Amino acid sequence: MRAFLNYFIKFPVAANLIMFGILIMGVVGMMNMKSTFFPEVESRIIQIQIVYPGASPEEIEEGIVKKIEENLKGVTGVERYTSVSRENSGTVTVEVLKGYKPDLVLQDVKNAVDQISSFPVGMEPPTVFRQENLGFAISYAISGDVDLKTLKRYSRQVEDDLLAIDGISKVSLSGFPEEEIEIAFRERDLRAYGLTFQQATQAVRNANIELTGGTIKGKDEELLVRARNKAYYAEGLRDIVVKTTPEGSVVRLHQIANITDQWADTPSRSFLNGHPSVVVTVQNTLEEDVISVTDKVKAYMEGFNKNNQAVQAIMIRDGTVILRQRIALLTENGILGFVIVVLLLAMFLHWRLAFWVAISIPISF
């Protein structure tokens, strides 16, 4: 140890170079360090979302959930799974065993679900995803004296623009009703074409589906067979064939019904200063810096307000306020502690020696 210390006493330049190297690495590490309020914890939860319009909880349980649970029994890395069946939908939650990589188990769970080819006709394809641990960054309200359709258009624009910014990946909208397609059958036209209400609705269900047909296993690959024929707007349903006559002519949906895009009746709506509003919530993933995300959103919203007069973006909550306060407090305490140490050492030592002794404190951290 004495020889080690004597070396740096004999060659002080080497000690200074090492010190400056440590300082540079510390500054670089601090600049690349992510800011977060809570410790990072990797998610080990996989969720399977089920949507089956018009189905009861019992139908969801018997026709879908039990089939999924049966296939999950052969998946390795699964600690346990639980399910909830509700009207029109259901959820299967899978917990991954410690020691297994969640992404690999996720792929096995997807394959297990895709192998089921006996799902009820009319249900939407199950959505399998790994639940992310997201942190709250910031939220804004988009509001103005405009109709709901215009407000939603502006909000969708904000959502798309934010997602296009590097470092922002999680943006959600809330506060407005969901869009629905209303089909109002005309009784006179139904009778004219010899159709019943049940026949017409069944024809719409059969033509407006998205389902999986299982998998085709090849020598080097496995292909998923899926039928996609689902409309999300009224225009996509107008030309659905409801009936084909013996003469070869067809009856289309718009000939027997009025099809319009409508807003769903929801009990909750968002208002700001008496005007309808849409809440834009931005979250950060484990890989994203929450302060960087918040600063980018603020910069975008400032430009959005300058370029739009009909609607304005008003900040509701900034999730980094407390974090910024903690960082500022830590910085102030560090500077104050450094000054106190220098002053106390200067009372007993030469001020230059006191300064270099005090410098060792931040370097050691």
Q: Could you name the CATH architecture of 45-130? A: 2-Layer Sandwich (3.30)
Q: Is the pLDDT of residue 298 over 60?
A: yes
Is pTM beyond 0.85 here?
Answer: no
Amino acid at 329: L
Q: Residues spanned by CATH 3.30.70.1320 within the chain?
A: 135-178+267-319
Q: Residues spanned by CATH 3.30.2090.10 within the chain?
A: 179-263
Mean per-residue pLDDT, 230-257: 79
Q: Residues spanned by CATH 3.30.70.1430 within the chain?
A: 45-130
Q: Which of 34-43, 209-218, 297-306 has the highest mean pLDDT?
A: 297-306
Distance CA 291, CA 296 (A): 9
Contact assessment for residue 120 and residue 53, using Cβ atoms and an 8 Å cutoff: no
Q: Is the pLDDT of residue 361 over 70?
A: yes
pLDDT of amino acid 64 = 92
- Per-chain mean pLDDT for the chain: 83
Q: Is the pLDDT of residue 216 over 90?
A: no
Closest CA to 79 of 64, 98, 92, 65: 98
pLDDT of amino acid 325 = 92
Give every CB contact of residue 261 below 8 A, 6+ residues apart in sequence. Answer: 179, 180, 181, 182, 233, 234
Q: Is the pLDDT of residue 1 over 90?
A: no
Q: What pLDDT band is residue 231 in, cutting at 50, 70 and 90?
A: low
Q: What pLDDT band is residue 48 in, cutting at 50, 70 and 90?
A: very high
Domain 135-178+267-319 falls in which CATH fold? Alpha-Beta Plaits (3.30.70)
pLDDT 10s digits, 111-153: 999 888 888 887 888 999 988 888 889 999 999 888 888 888 8
Q: Is the pLDDT of residue 177 over 80?
A: no
pLDDT of amino acid 229 = 56
Q: Is the pLDDT of residue 226 over 70?
A: no
pLDDT of amino acid 213 = 52
Q: What are phi and psi of 100, to 5 degrees?
A: -105, 145
Using only C-alpha atoms, the chain has a radius of gyration, in whole angstroms, of 31
Burial 48-58 (b: 16+ CB within 10 A, else e): bebebeebeee
Q: Output 189 or 304, whichever has higher pLDDT.
A: 304
Q: Which of 9-23, 110-124, 208-222 has the lowest mean pLDDT?
A: 208-222
Q: Is the pLDDT of residue 24 over 60?
A: yes
Mean per-residue pLDDT, 72-95: 90
pLDDT of amino acid 69 = 92
Burial of 121 (0-12, 13-18, 19+ CB in 10 A): exposed
Kindly indicate whether the domain formed by 179-263 is annotated with CATH number 3.40.50.10740: no
Mean per-residue pLDDT, 199-203: 83
Q: Is the pLDDT of residue 224 over 80?
A: no
